[in-house]
């Protein structure tokens, strides 16, 4: 708004100055074309000027006074400009970011409200997790089955993936699932700007972190598990319940299969075939994420501490992990979602698969 007013004022000034200059040039040009000899009277340096008494009186004082006033304006205006400019720039960036969030929200909206329906599958505008109708085809028999595929919560997506990884998911989707590619490069309908605005929207719906000052905008920058304590408590309570009622044999196994927020906190949705549509096959036998059974995790990571750090940070594009692993950035990091204790329990369980 302020920027708009300033621009208008600048335009008016520019027009006035340009118009004044043109008028002056025209008048000057005309007077210069007067008959020969007239320049003797017209040339300013040939005209008789005011007497000393007149010149050094009020007139001089006025000129000096004007000079002081202009100096004062400069002296005050420059520091003021210097003081306000950084804030103005930051404000402009923030205002732009708000516009992006707003655009992103419109893309995120359900179909009925004109959006691309992220909200429809992922649990509304809050992105708290949902389900999507889908057909899975049995690769051997060709039999088609209608299922509901769990769509993970997105209000914690930056707790487990960084921005580039999320961008990759949005552009290329998860082509085997209801999550279609959205970016032009992946064959979807959105240009880079739209993907960027969606990412801004996703940032705006992240559940706030607790007790962690550093890197305010980056949920992953806390030193240990840093979900809000009520969610952390939910994860813990739910996992122990599943152990107590005999669904799973250990705390680690329960965490591996945990279904809070449509599997956002679990491993099984990527590592157990069929888990996402409620028809799990052999636990950890591999789906989108690799097969972890037969001691594969333990042989990929002979050093348990190394595996713990991998589960905490997830895989990074191109980076080595374990003995001969190279990450693709698609394995999320769990260090900001689970506590050290929980990660150790999961790792213990997975190494025994």
- Measured over the CA atoms of residue 268, residue 271, residue 276 and residue 278, the dihedral's sign is negative
Among 106, 167, 174, 238, binds ligand HEC (CB under 6 A): 174
By the rule CB under 6 A, 328 interacts with ligand HEC:
yes
By the rule CB under 6 A, 147 interacts with ligand HEC:
no
By the rule CB under 6 A, 283 interacts with ligand HEC:
no
By the rule CB under 6 A, 270 interacts with ligand HEC:
yes
Angle formed at CA 257 by CA 237 and CA 202, multiple of 5 degrees: 85
- Measured over the CA atoms of residue 347, residue 349, residue 351 and residue 353, the dihedral's sign is negative
Of 209 and 271, CB closest to ligand HEC? 271
By the rule CB under 6 A, 132 interacts with ligand HEC:
yes
Binding residues for ligand HEC restricted to 17-56, rule: CB under 6 A: none
Distance of CA 15 to CAs 2, 21, 132, 194, 259, Å? 20, 10, 59, 37, 65
By the rule CB under 6 A, 351 interacts with ligand HEC:
no
- The two three-digit tokens of residue 194, written as one number: 């739209």
Binding residues for ligand HEC restricted to 250-269, rule: CB under 6 A: 267, 269
CA distance 322 to 334: 17
Of 125 and 228, CB closest to ligand HEC? 125
Closest CB 215 distance from ligand HEC, rounded Å: 21
How crowded is residue 134: how many other Cβ atoms within 10 Å of its Cβ? 18
- Measured over the CA atoms of residue 4, residue 5, residue 7 and residue 11, the dihedral's sign is positive
Of 118 and 222, CB closest to ligand HEC? 118
User: If you search the block for the tokens 């590619």, which residue do you land on?
Assistant: 181
As a residue count, the chain comes to 353
Of 239 and 311, CB closest to ligand HEC? 311
- The two three-digit tokens of residue 264, written as one number: 């956002």
299, 273 in Cβ contact below 8 A? no
340, 225 in Cβ contact below 8 A? yes
Of 28 and 191, CB closest to ligand HEC? 191
Closest CB 212 distance from ligand HEC, rounded Å: 21
Q: How many residues touch ligand HEC (CB under 6 A)?
A: 46
Closest CB 188 distance from ligand HEC, rounded Å: 8
By the rule CB under 6 A, 169 interacts with ligand HEC:
yes
CA distance 209 to 207: 6
By the rule CB under 6 A, 177 interacts with ligand HEC:
yes
How crowded is residue 7: how many other Cβ atoms within 10 Å of its Cβ? 10
Of 222 and 253, CB closest to ligand HEC? 253
By the rule CB under 6 A, 222 interacts with ligand HEC:
no
- Which residues of this chain interact with ligand HEC, rule CB under 6 A? 108, 116-118, 120-122, 132, 149, 151-152, 154, 157, 166, 169-170, 174, 177-179, 182, 198, 267, 269-271, 276, 288-290, 292, 296-297, 300, 311, 315, 322, 325, 327-328, 330-332, 334, 346, 350
């Amino acid at each position: 708004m302020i920027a708009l007013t300033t621009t208008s004022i600048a335009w008016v000034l520019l027009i006035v100055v340009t118009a004044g200059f043109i008028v002056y040039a025209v008048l000057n040009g005309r007077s210069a074309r007067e008959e020969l000899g007239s320049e003797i009277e017209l040339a300013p340096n040939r005209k008789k000027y005011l007497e000393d008494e007149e010149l050094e009186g009020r007139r001089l004082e006025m000129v000096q006074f004007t000079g002081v006033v202009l100096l004062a304006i400069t002296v005050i205006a420059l520091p003021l400009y210097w003081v306000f400019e950084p804030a103005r720039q930051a404000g402009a960036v923030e205002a732009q970011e708000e516009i992006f969030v707003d655009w992103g929200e419109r893309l995120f909206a359900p179909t009925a409200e004109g959006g691309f329906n992220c909200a429809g599958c992922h649990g509304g505008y809050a992105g708290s997790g949902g389900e999507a109708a889908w057909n899975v085809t049995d690769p051997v028999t060709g039999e088609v089955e209608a299922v509901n595929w769990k769509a993970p919560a997105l209000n914690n997506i930056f707790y487990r993936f960084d921005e580039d990884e999320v961008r990759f998911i949005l552009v290329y989707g998860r082509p085997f699932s209801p999550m279609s590619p959205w970016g032009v490069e992946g064959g979807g309908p959105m240009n880079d700007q739209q993907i960027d605005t969606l990412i801004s929207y996703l940032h705006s719906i992240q559940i706030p972190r607790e007790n962690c000052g550093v890197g305010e905008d980056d949920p992953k920058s806390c030193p240990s598990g840093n979900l809000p304590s009520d969610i952390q408590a939910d994860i813990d309570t739910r996992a122990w319940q599943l152990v107590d009622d005999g669904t799973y044999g250990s705390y680690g196994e329960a965490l591996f299969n945990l279904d809070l927020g449509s599997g956002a906190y679990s491993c099984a949705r990527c590592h157990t075939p069929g888990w996402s549509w409620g028809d799990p096959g052999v636990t950890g036998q591999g789906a989108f994420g690799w097969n972890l059974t037969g001691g594969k995790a333990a042989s990929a990571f002979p050093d348990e501490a190394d595996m713990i750090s991998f589960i905490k940070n997830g895989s990074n594009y191109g980076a080595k992990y374990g003995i001969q692993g190279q990450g693709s950035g698609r394995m999320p990091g769990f260090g900001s979602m689970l506590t050290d204790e929980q990660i150790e329990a999961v790792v213990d369980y997975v190494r025994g698969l």
